[in-house]
């Protein structure tokens, strides 16, 4: 939960002019004026982890014992090196009198003059505890992650059959307080699950109460007799993004990097290769899948091909290699003949002009083949009298004998045919020349059927 939205005033108790107003109960997730946030097992409280304390405290009825803490514990802004453990289900920091056997929910702080934690404030009776039961404390873990545990093991309520087991944990690392309830049921069902107890924290002027004389220490969604109430102190928000580092008061709003103000739950994703919104997943656009040292959000237009990225060298492949959304003109196949200029297309506006050599005659259309679908038509082929430019010189049915240098030949255009003897050394009108025309003339005057 963002710190700004978490600081909702709940459970405020004002002390002044000898008048103490009754503390209001805080809903799970509420906070007090200092910034402590309370959560139960069913609303993001920490996991149940009951630890058996080993060092006994032989407390008499309605008494307390001062115990040195193994680390300095900060509570409501003050540092403490010792704690008073009371038989009536609570601990305090500097309280000079016992935690009374009775409490009044409407005047709960009348006898409290020091910060305190109400684990299960009720009239507990250590003198009636069974053999081996009692009040114990221990320290677990190693610096800087130690935790101090005070445990009320199988403690009866005064003159009521049955016993209860519960404990408080103080955490060195982040100053949080956890209350663990292993068994809060006795023979009188009307007193079970906190129905006769006050549960909360106070700095002696304000109180953040989870419950007071309410059967609130159980939930259908948690295992029987495994309930936890957690009080989270205001966190040290190093990067100032208004989110707490782990464990945090809200497991859904934990800052995944308290050294980076751009990373917090719900933050906008940036193109930086980091999980900015703390959802545990890196967006696809921020992954360098092909290993070309560029992400899609940085301009890599194909993160599955390491040869394609911004700044890549364009090669003749018809692909936008440098990811600038533009294909170079030399790579475009305008006439859709399968060839681009960089692949040898000599005229990209003509589908017929390309280096394919479709007829496999050794000459392609870009090298002068005027009909690349016919292998017998190519530059240098023998000209035939067939109405086709066989040698691709631009003239149909021209006789190679015509116009030979020094041959004295004549060049005569004859419709519908070839001049077979155009190298005759005769001038137009001579008999020889006329004889050469006879076959053609006769063919033209052939009677119709």
Residue 75's pLDDT is what? 97
Dist CA 83 CA 116 (whole Å):
9
Strands 147-155 and 134-140: antiparallel
Spell out the domain ranges in the chain: 43-232, 343-393, 399-449
pLDDT in tens, 365-410: 888 888 888 988 889 888 787 778 888 888 887 665 454 444 444 4
Radius of gyration of the chain (CA): 49
Least confident of 3-17, 36-50, 301-315: 3-17
Dist CA 391 CA 144 (whole Å):
95
Mean per-residue pLDDT, 343-347: 84
Q: Other C-beta atoms within 10 Å of 27: how many? A: 14
pLDDT in tens, 190-235: 999 999 999 999 998 889 999 999 999 987 776 778 999 999 998 8
Cα–Cα distances in angstroms (integers) from residue 20 to residues 15, 98, 110, 204, in the given order: 5, 19, 7, 11
Half-sphere exposure in the Cβ direction for 36 (13 Å, CA): 27
Would you mind telling me the total number of residues written for the chain in this entry?
449
pLDDT in tens, 254-281: 889 989 999 999 999 999 999 999 999 9
395: tokens are 């003239």
Helix then strand then coil, % of the chain, to nearest 5: 10, 20, 70
In three-state form (DSSP H/G/I as H, E/B as E, the rest C), the secondary structure along 320-334 is CCCCCCCCCHHHCCC
- 82 and 66 Cβ atoms separated by less than 8 Å: yes
Dist CA 395 CA 430 (whole Å):
27
Cα–Cα distances in angstroms (integers) from residue 393 to residues 388, 400, 401, in the given order: 11, 11, 15
């Amino acid at each position: 939960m963002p710190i700004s939205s978490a600081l909702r005033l709940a459970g405020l108790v004002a002390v002044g002019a000898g008048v103490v107003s009754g503390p209001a109960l805080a809903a799970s997730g509420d906070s007090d004026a200092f910034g402590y946030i309370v959560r139960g097992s069913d609303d993001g409280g920490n996991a149940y982890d009951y630890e058996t304390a080993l060092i006994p405290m032989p407390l008499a009825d309605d008494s307390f014992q001062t115990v040195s803490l193994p680390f300095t514990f900060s509570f409501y802004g003050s540092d403490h090196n010792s704690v008073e453990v009371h038989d009536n289900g609570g601990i305090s920091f500097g309280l000079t009198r016992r935690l009374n056997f009775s409490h009044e929910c409407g005047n709960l702080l009348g006898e409290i003059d020091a910060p305190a934690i109400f684990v299960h404030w009720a009239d507990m009776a250590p003198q009636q505890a069974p053999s081996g039961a009692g009040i114990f404390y221990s320290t677990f873990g190693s610096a800087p992650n130690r935790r101090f545990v005070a445990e009320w093991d199988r403690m009866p309520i005064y003159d009521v059959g049955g016993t209860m087991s519960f404990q408080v944990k103080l955490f060195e690392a982040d100053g949080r307080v956890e209350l663990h309830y292993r068994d809060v049921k006795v023979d009188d069902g009307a007193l079970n699950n906190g129905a006769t107890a006050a549960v909360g924290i106070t700095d002696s002027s304000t109180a953040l109460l989870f419950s007071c004389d309410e059967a609130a220490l159980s939930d259908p969604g948690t295992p029987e007799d495994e309930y936890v109430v957690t009080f989270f102190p205001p966190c040290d928000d190093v990067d100032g993004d208004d989110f707490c580092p782990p464990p945090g008061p809200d497991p859904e709003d934990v800052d995944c990097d308290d050294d980076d103000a751009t990373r917090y739950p719900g933050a906008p994703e940036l193109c930086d290769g980091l999980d900015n919104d703390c959802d545990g997943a890196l967006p696809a656009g921020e992954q360098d899948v092909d290993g070309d040292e560029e992400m899609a959000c940085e301009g890599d237009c194909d993160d599955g091909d390491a040869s394609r990225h911004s700044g890549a060298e364009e090669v003749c492949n018809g692909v936008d290699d440098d990811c600038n959304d533009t294909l170079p003109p030399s790579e475009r196949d305008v006439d859709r003949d399968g060839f681009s200029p960089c692949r040898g297309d000599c005229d990209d506006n003509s589908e017929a002009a390309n280096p394919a050599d479709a007829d496999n005659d050794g000459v392609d259309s870009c090298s002068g083949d005027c009909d690349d679908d016919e292998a017998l038509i190519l530059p240098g082929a023998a000209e035939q009298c067939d109405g086709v430019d066989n040698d691709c010189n631009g003239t149909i049915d021209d006789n190679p004998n015509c116009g030979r240098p020094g041959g004295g030949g004549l060049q005569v255009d004859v419709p519908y045919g070839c001049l077979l003897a155009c190298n005759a050394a005769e001038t137009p009108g001579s008999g020889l020349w006329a004889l050469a025309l006879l076959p053609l003339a006769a063919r033209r005057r052939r009677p119709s059927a």
